[in-house]
Structure 1
Amino acid sequence: MKKLRLFATAAFGVESVVARELKHLGYEDTVTDNGRIFFDGDMDAICRANLWLRAAGRVHVLMGEFTANTFDELFEKTKAIPWEEWLPKDVEFPVTGGCVKSTLMSISDCQSIIKKAIVERLKKVYGIEIFPETGPRYRVDFNILKDQVTLSIDTSGSGLHKRGYRSLAYTAPIKETLASALILISHWSPGRFLIDPLCGSGTIPIEAALMAKNKAPGLDRDFDCQEWPNIPKETWYRALNEARDLMKPKPSGDVLIQGYDINPEAVSMANYHARQAGVADLVHIQTRDVRELSSKVKYGFIITNPPYGQRIGEKKENNRLYENMGKSFERLSTWSYYIINADSDFEKFFGRKADKNRKLYNGGLLCYYYQYFGPKPPRQQDKEE
């Protein structure tokens, strides 16, 4: 089967997490460049990457890369790409993209020129003058950075953060992809206790439960490329069957993933979303103030996204919250804490400097992932001895 050059997009600071996910799927030779993780694959890889990547934004097929300093260059080099290998004659193909630090900085002009170049190419290949655009959707994406043009086709459609389970809106929710990245960075693994004591609508506990169940995050949604004639239906059936076969049954024993929030409405939403995601039996979410945080378990993980704001009233309220978090978390002194926050002085109010800090973006907002490492639990054989 023909090898394709593919790439997954990732938010700043998450690229290495997505590269690790791709390697886990069997795509070893990855190259990271400006929020894109390139890898080689086939049609199966398109399906499997869309189904399984937890921290990526989208999956693209790379169509071409070149330098363009003029609109004429952009038109001719776009037209030279064999678009007919992917786009059928009835294709619907919106063109979107962006320009950064380039000679060509008008996004609307670039959209128009790229669209026109593709149409001219397809008119000649298919021998038609009018394109009804009534067929399957292929989103053509362009990225122009320092005059270097990358053209691709987005296979995902809606962003991969849209898993299909979060239908109720809550204040400032964290994206599912970023929540997964936080968990993957922590190296938490199923079988270890995890608490989010400020869980809001439940995204972090639910994403952890999906990992514990080994449920592919894209299993309950659709992708644009499912309607493409290029990808045989049996390829999708194979990928979907693999994902269903790899799901694990609920483990026996205590529920190891917990979420708390002081707001009963948020807790109600979180429990509803857990049911929608098919993991209600793997998470325990209840109304509780962070000041009441406690556990009889000696070792575990706290992963959380507390509120942060820039207005004076919000900052004062949030600083009090961070102080309360510091006091409560100290009661679990043998646990590891992972806290994403946009306030650069968070550590001051939390009362402890992080062992490690990592810059991440929550949407367009620069955040810091404060990491506090607890002692490793004794190995099972040590316990038995």
Structure 2
Amino acid sequence: MTAFTFVATTPMGLEAVLKRELLGLGFEDARAFNGYVEFTGDETTVARCNLWLRTADRLLLKMGEFEATTFDELFEGTKALPWPDLLPITAHFPVEGRSVKSQLASVPACQRIVKKAIVDRLSQAYRVHTFPESGATYAVEVALHNNRALLTVDTSGAGLHKRGYRTGLAAAPIKETLAAALVLLSWWKPHRPFADPLCGSGTIAIEAAMLGRNIAPGLQRSFAAEGWGLLPDSAWADERKAAYAAIRQDVELDITASDVDPNVLRLAARHCEAAGVDLDVRIVQQDVRDFHPSTAYGCVVTNPPYGERLGDQREVEALYRSLGRVMARLDTWSTFVITSHPRFESLFGRRADKRRKLYNGRIETQFYQYLGPLPPRKEP
């Protein structure tokens, strides 16, 4: 086995959640930075992490990192990296880039320099001067930050939020990766009731059900690295077989996804079926004011409308007041709400026990956490 360094990216604010995921998968050297977690592994890591990581956007293979304040430094630093060890002669290797607080601010120029340096290194290794780029895709990224260049190759392909179950979109959808992170931040466990009373197309409830059943989020999709030959097809098959075997069949889940809009509920039902959790998520058409579960010690996790458009403000503020009144009566329940509305706490009716800054796409939000009592321990 070969030792590699990996970079798992995630939205700002979720680095600790992703690090906990990696520690749970056995990667004890996981180190959190702004927007990503770095760790080491071998070839099997590519399959395991792409299949199992719930809160990562992408899994990148780190090629190298170095100071680069001039184009010459960027060229020579890139050329010195072991590209022939990863890229075959037929590799398709597009280069993307970004630059933050660095002297090399022209991203297109940096992309051209990196591409040329890789071609030069491969030319030396393969003794050819042109490359057909007709094979598998090895998407290269050069990320410049404070004059340090980080060169990575994307193993995931499509972003890891694309689980494969969401075929239609409601208004203002939440990414599957962020939805999973909200559930993980709630510390909900499968023995407790769970509800999203403003569920839209059902993403948060589905991610809770997949977590409760221990369904690997990447089971229904493929990944860029499957075409690389880094791992034999049998190894990918073995990882998927192990993931299927890990699905919990012995757990009974109490998960409700409700909304007033029948159109989004039809989407939610279709997504639940596609995700394989249609027997675990109860779909209910109801106004949030009618949310009155008979069970105790549950968790509400929800992504309500934010009221960003001026015409929606009064309706959204009334919705927050209604949610606050409903949850005030459910004194054993915990409530977790993500929104960008600056007056949420006053509209909801009380200050949150905790709050955490998160990004829903490009929107800066707060994740408000109202912590109810834990269920009493069962006597042995």
Alignment length (residue pairs)? 380
Q: Which amino acid aligns with 2:133?
A: E
SS at match of 2:5: strand
Identity %: 47
Cα distance in 1, alignment partners of residues 309 and 268 from structure 2: 27
How big is each residue's C-alpha offset from its partner over 1:223-253, in whole Å with a ceiling of 9 and x where there is no partner? Answer: 000111122222212211110110111635x
Q: Identify if the C-alpha distance between structure 1 residues 64 and 361 changes in structure 2 by more than 3 Å, giving closer, same or farther.
A: same
| Contact 1:43/1:235 (8 A) holds in 2 | no
Aligned to 1:41: 41
Amino acid at match of 2:355: N
The answer to whether the aligner puts 1:57 opposite 2:57 as a matched pair is yes
Is 1:353 the counterpart of 2:351? The answer is yes
Q: What is the letter of the counterpart of residue 102 of structure 1?
A: S
Q: Which residue of 1 aligns with 2:244?
A: 244
Task: Quote the residue 2:277 is aligned against.
Answer: 279
Instruction: Kindly indicate whether the alpha-carbon contact (under 8 Å) linking 1:8 and 1:60 is maintained by their aligned counterparts in 2.
Output: yes
Whether the 8 Å contact between 1:65 and 1:151 is mirrored in structure 2 is yes
TM (norm. structure 2) is 0.98
Q: Is the 8 A contact 1:334 1:375 kept in 2?
A: yes
Contact 1:214–1:247 at 8 Å: present in 2 too?
yes
Q: How many angstroms does 1:356 deviate by?
A: 0.3
Q: Which amino acid aligns with 1:180?
A: A
Counterpart Cα distance in 1 of 2:71 and 2:374: 58
Name the structure 1 match of 2:77: 77
Distance in 2 (alpha carbons) for counterparts of 1:312 and 1:2: 55
Match of 1:157 in 2: 157
Q: Check conservation: 2:193, 2:296, Cα contact below 8 A.
A: no
Alpha-carbon separation, structure 1, partners of 2:169 and 2:76? 45
Does 2:314 match 1:328? Answer: no
Checking the alignment, whether the CA contact within 8 Å between 1:355 and 1:372 is kept in structure 2 is yes
The one of 301, 306, 315 aligned to 2:299: 301
> What do you get for the CA RMSD once the two structures are aligned?
1.1
Residues 1-385 of structure 1: matches in 2 within 5 Å?
1-249=1-249, 251-252=251-252, 255-381=253-379
Kindly provide the CA deviation profile for residues 183-215 of structure 1, in whole angstroms up to 9, marking residues without a partner as x. 001110112100000000000000011111111
Q: Distance in 1 between matches of 2:34 and 2:64?
A: 16
Q: Distance in 2 between matches of 1:90 and 1:68?
A: 29
What are the Cα deviations for residues 61-102 of structure 1, in whole angstroms up to 9, with x where unaligned? 110000101111111110111100000000011111211011
Is the 8 Å Cα contact of residues 250 and 281 (structure 1) preserved in structure 2? no
> Residues 97-125 of structure 1, C-alpha deviation per residue, up to 9 Å, x if partnerless?
21101101111111111111101111111
Contact 1:250 1:282 in 2 (8 A): no
Q: Deviations over 1:269-322 (max 9, x none)?
A: 000000011110110012110010101112100000000033322222211111
Unaligned runs of 5+ in 1: none
Q: Which amino acid aligns with 2:57?
A: G
**1:129: how far off?**
1.7
> What is the DSSP-based 3-state SS (H/G/I as helix, E as strand, rest coil) of the residue aligned with 2:355?
strand
Deviations 1:152-174 (A, max 9, x none): 11100010000000011211100
CA distance in 1, matches of 2:16, 2:326: 32
SS of alignment partner, residue 336 of structure 2:
strand
